A and B are shown apart, each in its own frame.
Chain A
Amino acid sequence: DTAVSQTPKYLVTQMGNDKSIKCEQNLGHDTMYWYKQDSKKFLKIMFSYNNKELIINETVPNRFSPKSPDKAHLNLHINSLELGDSAVYFCASKPNLGADSPLHFGNGTRLTVT
Chain B
Amino acid sequence: KNEVEQSPQNLTAQEGEFITINCSYSVGISALHWLQQHPGGGIVSLFMLSSGKKKHGRLIATINIQEKHSSLHITASHPRDSAVYICAIPQMNYGGATNKLIFGTGTLLAVQP
Asked whether A and B interact, the reply is no
Interface residues of A (CB under 8 A from B): none
Interface residues of B (CB under 8 A from A): none
